[in-house]
Amino acid sequence: MLNLSIKELSNKLKTKQISSLELTKASLDRINTTDSKLKAFLHVAKEEALDAAKIVDKKIANGEKISVLAGIPMAVKDNICTKGIKTTCASKLLKDFVPPYDATVMKNLNEKNVIMIGKTNLDEFAMGGSTENSAFEITKNPWDLERVPGGSSGGSAVAVSSNQVVYSLGSDTGGSVRQPAAFNGIIGLKPTYGRISRYGLVAFASSLDQIGIFTKNIEDCAIVLEEIAGKDQMDSTSADIDVDSYSEYISKPINGMKIAVPRELMQDGVQEDIKNALKSSIEKLEELGAVVEEISLENLKHSVETYYIIAPSEASSNLSRYDGIRFGDRAKEFKSLEDLYIQSRTLGFGDEVKRRIMIGTYTLSAGYYDAYYKKALQVRTLIKRDFEEAFKKYDVILTPTTPNTAFKIGEKINNPLAMYLEDICTIPVNMAGLPGISIPCGFDKNAMPIGMQFISKAFDEKTLFKVASAYQNATDYHKKSPKL
Amino acid sequence: MIDKETIEKISKLARLEFSEKEKEDLVKKLSNILGYVENLQSIDTTGVEITYNPNGFENQFRKDEVKESMPRELVLQNAPDKDVGCFKVPKVLD
C-alpha cells in the first residue's frame, strides 16, 4: 500500500477504499518490522500520528474537502522543528530539545492534515555524506545493509526507499538530499534557494541550505513542492515569486529541449558503471526528442574547495548559538561562565562538527579572511557565471548525482577529504542557488542504485519536472524496490 | 602551516577544548583539508565581485505590526537552568 503514489492513495482515501488510520498503521507496522535493521528513524511519533489519522478519517466521513496530502504518512529529517516533538539534529547537545514552534513547512503540512510519522536520522547538524556522523545510530542502506544510505538526510531517504512512508523532507546544503536519493534509488529534489521557507530548519550554512523532498516518483515530488513552496514572512530569504503548478508539467513532451552535459563532471574519478548509465540515459533522452550536447563549465572543478571554506565559515558562526544557556545540554562541571560555554560545546558536539567549526573559525580569523573566505566568495561568483552562461543556450544541465555509488560503512569515515570529494557533482548547484533533482537511472555491478541529476535555472523547477518525468515514463528504474 | 599552536589558538576562539591526541589528529586532518582548498589561490579573481547570497535579494522588510510573541514559559522550556522567569547563568561578577 505504501508504494502507491500520493494521487492513488488520496483517491483511495476520498472514496473510502482505505482509511487514514489503516494507512498510518501500515506505516507504523512497516517501521516496526524493518527499522531495527535500517535505523532510519530517531523517534516515531506514534500517538500523534494515530490521532492525526483519526481526524482525517472524521473529515472524510463528514464529507469535508481535504488536501491531496491529507491522511498520508510522511517523515521529517530531525533538523526541521516539530512543535512538541523532539528535534535533535542527531546531536548529543540537542538530545532533549523540544521545539516550542513548528517550522513553516511543518505548519503548512499540518494545516493539510498530513500524517507526520516521525523524525529521521542524519549526520549531526547535517554535516556529512553518510549519516555515520549521527550521535545516536548508523542508518543502513536497504539495498545492502553493509553500505551507507548517503547523507546527510540518510534517514529520510531510507524511510522512502524502504516504503516506511510515502514521502519525506530533508535538507540540502551541498547535496544532502540528492546524494542519498541517488544512493537509495529514489527521487530527491533540492529546489531553488529561496523557494521553500527555511524558518524552523536548524541553520548549518545559511547561504546554501534549502529544504528538499524525497519521493518514489516524480509526480509526487511536484505535488509536495506545490504544497510547501512560497514566500514566508518568517524567512527573509524566501522568494516572493509565484509558485508554478508543477504537476501540470508532468508527462509533457520534451521535443527540442536543449540539454548540456558538463565534461568536467564526466571525467576520471566517476565510476565506470555510472558513466555508462549516463550514456544510456542520454541516448534515451535523445530518443525522446531532446538535443544533448557536451559543454565545459570550467570553474565547477573548484566547487568542493569553495564549499569547504564557505560552508564551515557559515557553520562556525551559526553554531556559536549552542552555548548551554538558553537550550541544549549544559555541562555539569565548569569553573566560570566562559568555561560553561567551552565544556558544554566540547561535550555536546561530535568530531565532524568540531572539525568544521575549527575550519570555519580558522578561515574567518584575522589574517586569513581575505585569503580564504573572500577568495571563496569570488570563486563562487565564477561558478555562478558558468551556469548563467550555459543557461543562455540550454534548458537543462545533466550530470551524474554522485561520482560513486553507495560506499561501505566505515570506508571513508576516517578520511574527511575523501568524503567531501563525493559531493563534487551536487555542490556547484548550492553554490549558484539553483534547483537540482536526482532521479534513478540504473544500477552498478553490485546492484546498487545510480542517480543522475538535472539542473535548471533558478525558480525553473517546472522544467526539471518536465524532463525528469519524460525520462521516468520511458524507464522503470524508479519502480524497483530493495528486498528486505 | 597548521600546527599544534594554531589548533590551540583557533580552539580558544571557537570555545572548544581538545585533548593532546585530538589536537594531533586535528593537525593532520585540517592540514589535509586546508591544503586542498589552497588550490583556490591558483585562480585569478582580480576584480571579481563577491557572491554572499545566491539569489541576490536585497533586504526584505515587513510591516512593523504589533503581534503576540511566544509565551515566556515556552521560551524557557528548553533552558538547562532557569529562575523567576529568566535564564540562569553562573555568577559573572564577584
For residue A175 the three cell numbers come to: 547535496
Which cell numbers hold the place of A174? 551541498
List, in order, residues 6 or more apart from A137 with CB less than 8 Å away.
A39, A42, A121
pLDDT band at B60; cut points 50, 70, 90: confident
Interface predicted TM-score (ipTM) of this complex, two decimals: 0.96
Has residue B94 got a pLDDT over 80?
no
Distance CA B54, CA A380 (A): 9
Segments in A288-425 forming alpha helices (H): 303-318, 337-348, 351-364, 375-391, 416-421
> With an 8 Å Cβ cutoff, are A236 and B11 in contact?
no
What percent of chain A lies above the pLDDT cut of 70? 100
Burial class of A380 by CB neighbour count within 10 A (0 to 12, 13 to 18, 19+): buried
**Cα gap A388→B49, rounded to integer Å:** 15
A258 is a catalytic site residue: no
Q: Find the CB nearest A101 among B50, B53, B70.
A: B70
CB atoms within 10 A of CB A280: 12
DSSP B61-93: -----------HHHHHTT-SSEETTEE------
User: Cα separation of B54 and A381, whole Å?
Assistant: 9
- pLDDT score of A356: 97
Structure confidence at residue A133 as a pLDDT band (50, 70, 90) = very high
The answer to whether A183 touches A150, Cβ cutoff 8 Å, is yes
The C-alpha cell of A346 is what?
A: 566540547
Q: Respond yes or no: is residue A384 known to be catalytic.
A: no
pLDDT of residue A268: 77
Known catalytic membership, residue A176: yes
Q: Is B19 on the interface with A (CB under 8 A)?
A: no
Computed on alpha carbons and rounded to an integer, the radius of gyration of chain A in Å comes to: 21
pLDDT of residue A40: 98
* CB-nearest partner of A381 from B2, B50, B62: B50
Could you tell me the three cell numbers for A300?
565547477
C-alpha cell at A144: 545492502
| Cell numbers for B12 | 580558544
- Answer yes or no: do B16 and A305 touch at CB < 8 A: no
- Which of chain B's residues have a Cβ under 8 Å away from the Cβ of A376? 37, 40
Least confident span in A17-31, A147-161, A261-275 = A261-275
Distance CA A438, CA A117 (A): 24
State the Cα–Cα distance between residues A482 and A447, nearest whole angstrom: 10
Distance separating alpha carbons of residues A340 and A333, to the nearest angstrom = 8
Q: What confidence category does residue A189 fall into, taking pLDDT thresholds of 50, 70 and 90?
A: very high
In angstroms, the CA A205 to CA B62 distance is 24
Calpha distance A43→A78 (Å, rounded)? 9
SS (H, E, C) A284-307: HHHHCCCEEEEECCHHHHHHHHHH
Is A323:A341 a contact under the CB 8 Å cutoff?
yes
CA distance A203 to chain B (A): 15
Average pLDDT over residues A149-177: 98
At B56 the pLDDT is 82
The 10 Å Cβ neighbour count of residue A86 is 16
Scanning the structure block, which residue is given the C-alpha cell 583539508?
B33
Cβ–Cβ contact A59 with B under 8 A? no
Interface A-B, measured as beta-carbon pairs within 8 A, has a size of 162
Q: How far apart are CA A408 and CA A26, in angstroms?
A: 31
From the list A167, A164, A159, the residue with the least C-alpha distance to A214 is A167
**A140 three-class SS:** coil
Q: CB distance B36–A416 less than 8 Å?
A: no
Terminal CA-CA length for chain A = 16
Q: What percent of chain B has pLDDT over 70?
A: 100
The residues in A 386-425 lying below 8 A from B, measured between CB atoms, are 416-417, 420
Mean of the pLDDT values across residues A51-60? 98
| R_g of chain B computed on alpha carbons | 23
What are the beta bridge partners of residue A41?
Answer: A120
* pLDDT tens-digit series, residues A430-459: 999 999 999 999 999 999 999 999 999 999
**Which residue out of A39, A77, A412, A466 is catalytically annotated?**
A77
Which residues in chain B touch residue A96, judged by CB atoms under 8 angstroms apart?
A: 78
Rounded mean pLDDT, A308-332: 96
pLDDT at A417 over 90: no
